[in-house]
Amino acid sequence: MKKIIAVLPGDGIGPEVTTQAVRVLQKIAEKFNHQFEFKEGLIGACAIDKTGDPLPDETLKLCNSVDAILFGAIGDPKYDNDPKAKVRPEQGLLKLRKSLGLFANIRPVMVFDSLKNKSPLKNEILDYVDFVVFRELTGGIYFGEHSRPTKSSARDVCEYTKEEIERIAVLAFDAAKSRKSVGHKGKVTVVDKANVLETSRLWRETIQELSKKYPNIEVEFMYVDNASMQIIRNPKNFDVMLTENMFGDILTDEASVIAGSLGVLPSASVGSGVSLFEPIHGSYPEAAGKNIANPIGAILSAAMLLGVAFKLEEESQAVYMAVKKTLDEGFGTEDINSTNPLKTGELTDKILENI
């Protein structure tokens, strides 16, 4: 198989972890007789510094011409700490999602047995935790009208259409159906705030109607405040979680704590065209350049790229099992192995040995 992959390292630790994910993809190409070509582009703070634009036209053109996108991280303190900054790194990612029609963010939440002692939750709570969150990515309050009518007031508009809700709900229900076929619950939990928000009531109406096409899938509606509590109290209750943009942003970061480290979880953003794959962690500028960042989230994002974008299930599973074996052997960067930590590249070396 011949494929072209856009690599957008971004800011902070993004370039370091993305480099390791590329090494893993190169190893997979060698082992399974594929040809992967990598083309790099600018995005985020580094793009602002060089071009004045967080998403240069050249990068967007690149992303529209490839088979998949591997993304690192964006963000820089000089923009984070300046509330009056007109141009921000995050604008580049939001524009990229909108331009590519990446309306669904998919985040698996799983717990490696070897990392249970790193989670703040008790071991008995962590047993059998394996769920996936479908977060709507191009609508809601993040993409609504933002204004400052006066010096002492501000306004952010949250808006959704039935079509925007349906298209991600179909993906979530199809995932629940697929997961049920391999032994999962076959349940979709819809997280909203329908007791207060009109947009949430539209979500409920739309999904209640759609669910009739999936009679074998259980549907559960849960307020976001309750969901935030249940993720910690009883995470094994969830199978497929479906929610809107801002709620999904917050809940997936909360759920990431379950795994024991932000550094080990991947994500995929999919839509009508090319898909994007990225670790869920941020740019972590304090660690940039120190070769201490955990590359596993980026490496597992590469595994998702293989499975979701290229339909290479065996190759995807080979990466996942190599990561699992490496962790089971006790290897890790300092966030998961404080007594004998490996550097970023050294951990990847172990994973490559196990592929």
Kindly give the confidence (pLDDT) of every residue in the chain, 355 residues in length, as a single tens digit, with 9 standing for 90 and above: 999 999 999 999 999 999 999 999 999 999 999 999 999 999 999 999 999 999 999 999 999 999 999 999 999 998 877 667 778 899 999 899 999 999 999 999 999 999 999 999 999 999 999 999 999 999 999 999 999 999 999 999 999 999 999 999 999 999 999 999 999 999 999 999 999 999 999 999 999 999 999 999 999 999 999 999 999 999 999 999 999 999 999 999 899 889 988 899 999 999 988 999 999 999 999 999 999 999 999 999 999 999 999 999 999 999 999 999 999 999 999 999 999 999 999 999 999 999 9
The set of residues, in sequence order, having a beta carbon less than 8 Å from that of 134 and lying 6+ positions away, is 104, 105, 106, 168, 171, 172, 175, 240, 241, 242, 243, 248
Q: What angle do CA 212, 217, 220 make, to 5 degrees?
A: 90
253 is catalytic: yes
Greatest Cα pair distance in the chain: 61
Handedness of CA 324, 327, 329, 331 (dihedral sign): positive
The catalytically annotated residue of 95, 177, 180, 193 is 193
Active site residue 214: no
Chain centroid to CA 48: 23
Please tell me what DSSP assigns to residue 222. Answer: E
* Burial class (CB within 10 angstroms; exposed 0-12, middle 13-18, buried 19+) of 124: exposed
Q: What is the pLDDT of residues 329-341, one digit of tens each?
A: 999 999 999 999 9
- Bridge partners (DSSP) of residue 267 are 278
Instruction: Name the H helices within the chain.
Output: 14-32, 45-51, 57-63, 77-80, 89-100, 123-126, 162-180, 198-210, 224-233, 245-256, 296-304, 313-328, 344-354
- CA dihedral sign, ordered 202, 93, 73, 320: positive
Q: What is the dihedral of CA 202, 208, 211, 215, to 10 degrees?
A: 180
Helix (H, G, I), strand (E, B) or coil at 334: coil
- What is the separation of C-alpha 209 from the centre of its chain, rounded to a whole number of angstroms? 28
Q: What is the pTM of this model?
A: 0.91
Residue 80 bears catalytic tag:
no
- pLDDT digit string, tens, across residues 54-63: 999 999 999 9
Work out the mean pLDDT of the chain and round it to a whole number: 95
What is the rounded CA–CA span in Å between residue 283 and residue 295?
12
* 86 flagged as catalytic: no
Cβ neighbours of residue 81 under 8 Å, at least 6 residues apart? none
Cβ atoms of residues 133 and 166 within 8 Å: no
Cβ 43 vs Cβ 55: under 8 Å:
yes
Q: Answer yes or no: are the C-beta atoms of 132 and 265 closer than 8 Å.
A: no
Q: Spot the catalytic one: 39, 225, 290, 328.
A: 225
225 is catalytic: yes
Residue ranges of domains in the chain, CATH in brackets: 1-102+263-355 (3.40.718.10), 120-259 (3.40.718.10)
Q: One of 67, 80, 130, 249 is an active-site residue; which one?
A: 249
* Residue 260 to residue 69: CA distance in whole angstroms: 27
Annotated active-site residue in 67, 80, 130, 253: 253
- The active-site residue out of 79, 142, 214, 284 is 142
Tokens of 301: 């994002």
Q: Residue-wise over 10-39: b if at least 16 C-beta within 10 A, else e?
A: bbbbbbbbbbbbbbbbebbbeeeebebeee
- Which contiguous run of DSSP H or E holds residue 257? none
Among 319, 311, 308, 310, which Cα is nearest to 268's?
308
